[in-house]
Amino acid sequence: MIVEKSETLAVRASEDVVRVRQMVRTHAVNAGFNLVDQTKIVTAASEIARNTIDYGGGGECRIETVKVNSRRGVRLVFSDKGPGIPDIERALSDGFTTGGGLGLGLSGAKRLSNEFDIQSAPEQGTTVTLTRWK
């Protein structure tokens, strides 16, 4: 995999979620995504950015335009140093929430992505990596 462009943004406040959304859209447009695919990756980014703040205490997002052979995509890597996710399988189930939301953030972001991975450990933080391909 070749990383054509990479940027890292802080994710600590609501304004940062807006910046992440804007930068992800820019990468998606530059990768040649149609409007539907742009919307999917931006929505997934918004969900995970919000979780990074609400549950991880803030962190960062690396946004990459990637290429494998002639295939282009956008890969997002969100990381925090928060309390971690004790039960990832349960956290990915629709309707599960430890907050006041609908419990669709992680599972929804997973459905909106072509590739999705979570690494988490108690008191070690969480890293969510998602990729959408054109």
Alpha-carbon gap, residue 71 to 61, rounded angstroms: 22
Q: Mind listing the pLDDT tens digit of every residue in the chain (134 residues)?
A: 999 999 999 999 999 999 999 999 999 999 999 999 999 999 999 999 999 999 999 999 999 999 999 999 999 999 999 999 888 888 777 665 655 554 457 888 999 999 999 999 888 999 999 999 99
**Domain boundary assignment for the chain:** 2-133
Output the CATH code of domain 2-133.
Answer: 3.30.565.10
Alpha-carbon gap, residue 133 to 105, rounded angstroms: 20
Element holding 14 (H helix, E strand):
helix 14-30
What pTM did the predictor assign?
Answer: 0.91
